[in-house]
Amino acid sequence: MYARLKAMPTPPRPSREFIRTYRDDPVAFRHDIITTEADVPYQDEILAELHARKRAAVRSPHGAGKTAVASWAVLWFVLTRPDDTKIPTTASAWRQLTKYLWPEIRKWSRRVDWGKVGRGPFSARDELLTLALKPAWGGCEAFAVACQDAATIEGAHASNLLYVFDEAKAIPVATWDAAEGAFASGDCYALAISTPGIPMGRFYDIHSRKPGYEDWWTRHVEAEEAIAAGMVKPEWAEARRKQWGEDSSIYQQRVLGKFADDEESAIISLALVEAANDRWREWDEAGRPSMKEL
């Protein structure tokens, strides 16, 4: 006689009531499920338009809370679409994912009201990993992808897809185009966030409303809004105005959230300098491997 096999316990999933309530309402999810420290109107607007328009591109000054919104969007999508779901997250620099976006996702996961979700917190050992979220129930995954790896972006097929483009101003055009095929079918969304850079590239084209990008909803969070919401300190903005000059490209981009050409006297553009600095930090944090080890 064969020994009777014990039924394996069903992996903990969000409750049906939770999914029914919040699947189409990321703003309610943010207010009811996540404990936040501030009530910022433009963050609610971004979440609402992401759901309504499917594609949202947001530019803003530093410190306006873009990464928090992206983290909430990832958690909302994972928890309300437990089956056949993929969330590729990418950024112009790998360090943006390892040091900012994914630590932010883990931080906000700890502030979820799991009792309302209908299951316990994600396990740090098996579910919410350093650069991926793989819930135990299966069929759902969020993960980090290098922006140079367009093939991985293109291969992210699922019934439910959310692309997150962080510091999107310098993400290669090939990566944007690789993601585009997913929108031909299924329940697909894209959220692109960034401080703006020079007026070129796909993120700029989207915000400029160039032909072919009319299906994107765009939002410029202005410095005054971020200051009024308590996200950016007015003394910081004023100090940077004095330091950099209000006509400088760095002030226009980082404090006002505007696209701006680099100064004519610059031999190397600010965007290239920042990209080189990010690559050096990644190399340094990896232990400065030799070229043979790379």
Distance CA 63, CA 271 (A): 19
Coil/strand/helix, residue 190: strand
Please give the C-alpha separations between residue 69 and each of 36, 210, 244, 276, in angstroms, as whole numbers.
11, 26, 28, 27
Handedness of CA 51, 56, 61, 65 (dihedral sign): positive
Model-level pTM?
0.87
Contacts of 162 (CB under 8 A, 6+ apart): 73, 74, 77, 85, 86, 87, 188, 189, 190, 191
Q: Which residues of 167-184 are buried (b: 16+ CB within 10 A; e: fewer)?
A: bbbbbeebbbebbeebee
For residue 268, the model assigns a pLDDT of: 52
Distance CA 245, CA 243 (A): 6
Per-residue pLDDT of the chain (294 residues; tens, 9 = 90+): 444 444 445 568 999 999 999 999 999 999 999 988 788 999 999 999 999 999 999 999 999 999 999 999 999 999 999 999 999 999 999 999 999 999 999 999 999 999 999 999 999 999 999 999 999 999 999 999 998 888 878 878 899 999 999 999 999 999 999 999 888 888 999 999 999 999 999 999 999 999 999 999 999 999 999 999 999 999 999 999 999 999 999 999 999 999 998 755 444 555 555 556 555 655 666 677 765 555
For residue 152, the model assigns a pLDDT of: 79
Distance CA 143, CA 134 (A): 8
Q: Give the strand pairing for 217-220 and 187-194.
A: unpaired
For residue 282, the model assigns a pLDDT of: 55
For residue 3, the model assigns a pLDDT of: 46
SS3 content of the chain, % helix, strand, coil (to 5): 45, 15, 45
Please give the C-alpha separations between residue 129 and each of 50, 85, 98, 124, in angstroms, as whole numbers.
26, 17, 11, 6
With contact defined as beta carbons under 8 Å apart, do 70 and 50 qualify?
Answer: no
Report which of 127, 134, 119, 117 is spatially closest to residue 12, judged by C-alpha positions: 119
Distance CA 57, CA 215 (A): 11
Query: Rounded to 5 degrees, what angle do the CA atoms 147, 153, 158 make?
Result: 150
For residue 153, the model assigns a pLDDT of: 83
Structure token digits, residue 91: 């950024």
For residue 285, the model assigns a pLDDT of: 63
Report which of 172, 164, 207 is spatially closest to residue 68, judged by C-alpha positions: 164
Distance CA 26, CA 74 (A): 10
- What are the structural domains, with CATH classification, of the chain? 16-233 (3.40.50.300)
With contact defined as beta carbons under 8 Å apart, do 188 and 161 qualify?
Answer: yes
Query: Rounded to 5 degrees, what angle do the CA atoms 139, 188, 56 make?
Result: 130
